[in-house]
A and B are shown apart, each in its own frame.
Chain A
Amino acid sequence: MSSVSPSAYPDTESEKKPERKEWPLWEIFIRGQHGMSHRHVGSLHAPDAEMAIKNARDVYTRRNEGVSIWAVESRHIAATVPSEKGPLFEPSESKVYRHPTFFDIPDEVGQM
């Protein structure tokens, strides 16, 4: 079983349903201030990238919440599978020596 899924969301109902005519779903990322990274804020529907950005401005930045917007169609998001998060993240959990607190440095050494 792969630990990568082609979607961030479950798709529990789509198989039985007729093909949807609605505008594609986009994920919106906003840089709140200069110097910060873009953060996921939510999603919206739009026919194309240009409209996605315009809608994102109206939906997610009505009160100076952002200086930059990224939009990516939701179907392009690859995601980890929650049920496999144990084995997937195990390598990081078992390596305590990656944290500085693993090492005892005598006080005389000073700030380190």
Chain B
Amino acid sequence: MYAQMVKSTGKGVKTREEMSEDERAFQDKIDADTKIEPRDWMPEEYRKTLVRQIGQHAHSEIVGQLPEGNWITRAPTLERKMILLAKVQDEAGHGLYLYCAAETLGVSRDDLTEDLLSGKMKYSSIFNYPTLNWADIGAVGWLVDGAAIMNQVPLQRTSYGPYSRAMIRICKEESFHQRQGYDIMMKMAQGSPEQKRMAQDALDRFWYPSLMMFGPSDKDSVHSAQSMAWKIKINTNDELRQKFVDQTVPQAEYLGLSIPDPDLTWNEETGHYDFTEPNWQEFFDVIKGNGPCNTERMNDRTRAWEDGRWVREGLMAHARKKAARTAAE
């Protein structure tokens, strides 16, 4: 997802007998759905796992602006341009809500940014794919934001208060994102044969990378088991992926587009679609830095960080000067 393969303790979930008194009281609160707040006692590993997860989520929102930003100057109409601008601005906001939540755990914003730029922290694999034509912007809103919503809706109930509140704000804004994407897809799919071809091409390229967003199957992962016990992960990756496929197939049918999976079939018995898993080797390659756009994305973020330094420092110097002047008066 936006936070893929986040590691927790790696040790598996402790039994009640193995827990300290503090840990037991902490787990009881979580089981009773009492939110954990910044100054409450928490296991160090809970804190660290959350910093990794929320940080990675925040980075994804920020890096995720780049593939869409690519089309702001190329949008086909002024109205589409304004809508896309508003959507991309929302993603900046999402990044900020999430950085704030991470900061309540005692890390600084600059450290998080530097960990992203040094490659120590990751962002979602999906943003390493290029947006080649306008239909891609439709596909991103429909599929990428659609997949993000699948993951974010249950996270509104996560155990950490600031994270949960950030997710609630984000979810309120996401359905606009998905709908504007689907609206672009409808226009293209119902347009000229050439437009319809572009829409199909965008779906062909974004389908499997969207399925990868949920991460590889984690039904046997100790990290996921711990995260689920702590309620910082609510569903398994497979559950969310299945839900996404079930929801998306009829939407593609409505558009008259075909999902690029010859084995996709409705399974009467399970009440779900059977589908082909994405190529997980490709996923691991992209995570490692070898996707089509990894280098470009990191270069863009690094350039923004470095070119913005004089602005950050200049505004701070100005603020200090102004404060000193007011104090002297």
Interface residues of A (CB under 8 A from B): 5, 8-14, 17, 20-23, 25, 42-45, 47-48, 51, 58-59, 62-63, 79, 81-83
Contact = CB atoms under 8 A, between A and B. Distances in A.
B319 A48 contact: yes
A23 B41 CA distance: 28
Given A9-B104, A59-B93, 16 more contacts: A5-B39, A9-B38, A9-B103, A10-B39, A21-B313, A22-B110, A23-B315, A23-B316, A44-B96, A47-B315, A47-B318, A58-B93, A59-B96, A63-B173, A82-B41, A83-B41
A51 B315 CA distance: 9
Contact of B97 (A12, A42, A63, A79): A42
A21 B309 CA distance: 11
B106 to A, nearest CB: 4
Contact of A8 (B39, B41, B96): B39
Chain A contact residues, majority secondary structure: loop
B324 to A, nearest CB: 12
A95 B314 CA distance: 55
A48 B93 CA distance: 19
B46 to A, nearest CB: 13
Contacts of A62: 86, 89-90, 93, 173
A47 B39 contact: no
B52 to A, nearest CB: 14
Nearest to B322: A48
B19 to A, nearest CB: 18
Contacts of A25: 103
Looking at B37, B90, B97, the one whose CB has the most chain A CB atoms below 10 A away is B97
Contact of A12 (B100, B106, B111, B312): B106
B37 to A, nearest CB: 7
A9 B93 contact: no
B110 A21 contact: yes
A23 B89 CA distance: 21
Contacts of B111: 13, 17
A48 B315 CA distance: 8
A22 B315 contact: no
Contacts of B110: 20-22
Contacts of A51: 315, 319
A108 to B, nearest CB: 42
Contacts of B97: 42, 59
Nearest to A10: B106
A105 to B, nearest CB: 35
A13 B107 contact: yes
Contacts of B108: 13-14, 17, 20, 22
